[in-house]
């Protein structure tokens, strides 16, 4: 039996107080809908259908490369009506799994169990809440079998005492849906076509109804406002923190780490508070990450120490390097073993050779620095003429004095020295000393400016 996953993502989300469609609001750096689709992808060969409405084109554009079948719900007439929009593209012999684009923490293991239970039956996820206000109640008979789901607004006082509630997530054969959905009625308090009404239809047609339960309530919590989104963000980040610590990572405070992508770690990694990891990040063995660093799409090698308040993006840092504090490695920064980039330095699209040092207040852009070079404080590579970018090459063992400006394109040879304060516009040969600064004049009798 083929699997068709139908994710409902047509809601406006007015309580988010935003023009952005609700399912595109981000949790851990990616849209909530993305989390749901990723969980569904783990189920193997499945066709993914997404029902969109409010902000439909914006939702489409957010997933340009995904293999999705889109269905439009032009009018918001309830969950049953929403699923019906996708049904024409689903084969009669398929199994349908219904998910929600604003329920981002659903786990693949839970979905797999639900699908397994629905081969010739209707399987739904329920959860027991201390406060079930607002949720549809699971009505069971004396033998404990599920009979129906009654929405809160339509429930009697006795039914509102029931604490087991519907999550909305269910799986069932498409052939049943194609019979039951046309029979739905909007004669209820909301004036909508409830998907949950198919439960009573299943009971009436002697189709087995099985209720399963997620491992945690948070798996099935939906997002209606900013507070709920923030709460689920913390839940998700705490789960990641637990996984990292299980792998041996030392977290100074598990409640103060944010992973917005994939973080791979080696042995004996230490991460201080306030760090943010975005995209795909890899930390090698014995990496020490100081407080309040942002690392995005980068590889950090074994034994690297990253001091506080650094920003590292699309960079490669080899073994035993030291970075920061307050350093910025921009895309294309590539540090060889033992390189050092210190405080208030910026490196962009440049290679820093083995053991070379860029220690203070320096900009290195579009440059190649050899091994064992020393770049003095305040040095800049002048790589841009207002139109084009040019490269600077600095050889092995070169010494660049403080406050030097290297005007690209320029080559500084192996072992060369550039005197402090020089503006270098011509190549410097190996072992040469370049002095490129104006002659000092001392003027006697000069009067300092005074206030009027």
Binding site for acetyl-CoA: which residues?
A: 377, 383-384, 402, 420, 437
**Binding-site residues, please?**
8-11, 22, 73, 78-79, 100-102, 136, 151, 166, 224, 330, 348, 363, 374, 377, 383-384, 402, 420, 437
The DSSP code for 389 is B
**Binding-site residues for UDP-N-acetyl-alpha-D-glucosamine, please?**
8-11, 22, 73, 78-79, 100-102, 136, 151, 166, 224, 330, 348, 363, 374
Q: What angle do CA 183, 186, 192 make, to 5 degrees?
A: 115
**Strand bridging mode 275-283 / 294-296:** parallel
Q: What angle do CA 337, 362, 412 make, to 5 degrees?
A: 70
Catalytic residue among 25, 81, 213, 360: 360
| Tokens (6 digits) for 25 | 């609001």
Compute the residue count for the chain.
452
Name all contacts of 305-314 with Cβ < 8 Å and 24+ positions apart.
307/343, 308/272
CA quadruple 236, 237, 242, 243: dihedral sign: positive
| Tokens (6 digits) for 270 | 């230490």
Torsions phi, psi for 284 (to 5 deg): -75, 180
Which residues, including other chains, have CB under 8 Å from residue 388's CB and lie 6 or more apart? none
**Strand bridging mode 26-27 / 367-369:** unpaired
Q: Which residues pair with 126 in a beta bridge?
A: 166
| Tokens (6 digits) for 115 | 């699908």
Which residues, including other chains, have CB under 8 Å from residue 21's CB and lie 6 or more apart? 9, 12, 13, 54, 55, 58, 59
| Tokens (6 digits) for 70 | 């889109």
Report which of 152, 170, 183, 153 is spatially closest to residue 84, judged by C-alpha positions: 183
Give the largest Cα separation in the chain, rounded: 108
Cα 1 to Cα 378: distance, rounded to the nearest angstrom:
67
213 is a catalytic site residue? no
**Binding-site residues for Mg(2+), please?**
102, 224
Contact indicator for 353, 337 with CB cutoff of 8 Å: no
Q: Which residues are catalytic?
A: 360
């Amino acid at each position: 039996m083929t699997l068709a996953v139908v994710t409902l993502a047509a809601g406006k989300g007015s309580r988010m107080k935003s023009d952005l469609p609700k399912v595109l609001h981000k949790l851990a750096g990616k849209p909530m809908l993305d989390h749901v689709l990723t969980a569904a992808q783990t189920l193997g060969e499945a066709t993914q259908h997404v029902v969109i409405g409010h902000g439909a084109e914006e939702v489409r554009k957010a997933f340009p490369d995904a293999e999705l079948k889109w269905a439009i719900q032009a009018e918001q007439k309830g969950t049953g009506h929403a699923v019906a929009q996708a049904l024409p593209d689903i084969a009669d012999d398929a199994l349908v799994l219904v998910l929600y684009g604003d329920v981002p923490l659903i786990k693949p293991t839970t979905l797999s169990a639900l699908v397994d239970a629905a081969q010739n039956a209707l399987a739904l996820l329920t959860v027991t809440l201390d406060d079930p206000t607002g949720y549809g109640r699971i009505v069971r008979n004396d033998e404990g079998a599920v009979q129906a789901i009654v929405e809160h607004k339509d429930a009697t006082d006795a039914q509102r005492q029931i604490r087991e509630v519907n999550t909305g997530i269910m799986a069932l054969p498409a052939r049943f849906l194609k019979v039951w959905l046309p029979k739905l009625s909007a004669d209820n308090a909301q004036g909508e076509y409830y998907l949950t009404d198919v439960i009573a239809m299943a009971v009436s047609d002697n189709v087995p109804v099985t209720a399963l339960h997620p491992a945690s309530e948070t798996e099935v919590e939906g997002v209606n406002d900013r507070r709920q989104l923030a709460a689920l963000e913390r839940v998700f980040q705490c789960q990641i923190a637990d996984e990292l610590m299980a792998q041996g990572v030392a977290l100074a405070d598990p409640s103060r780490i944010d992973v917005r992508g994939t973080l791979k770690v080696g042995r004996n990694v230490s991460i201080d508070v306030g760090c943010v990891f975005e995209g795909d990040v890899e930390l090698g063995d014995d990496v020490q990450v100081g407080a309040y660093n942002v690392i995005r799409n980068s590889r950090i090698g074994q034994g690297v120490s990253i001091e506080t308040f650094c920003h590292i993006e699309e960079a490669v840092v080899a073994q035993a390097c030291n970075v920061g504090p307050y350093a910025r490695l921009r895309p294309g920064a590539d540090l060889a073993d033992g390189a050092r980039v210190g405080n208030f330095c910026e490196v962009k699209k440049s290679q820093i050779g083995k053991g070379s040092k860029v220690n203070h207040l320096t900009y290195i852009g579009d440059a190649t620095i050899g091994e064992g070079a020393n770049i003095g404080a305040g040095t800049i590579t002048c790589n841009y003429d207002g139109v084009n970018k040019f490269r600077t090459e600095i050889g092995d063992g070169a010494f660049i004095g403080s406050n030097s400006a290297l005007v690209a394109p320029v080559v500084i040879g192996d072992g060369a020295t550039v005197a402090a304060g020089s503006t270098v516009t011509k190549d410097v040969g190996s072992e040469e000393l370049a002095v490129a600064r104006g002659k000092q004049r001392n003027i006697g009798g000069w009067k300092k400016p005074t206030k009027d």
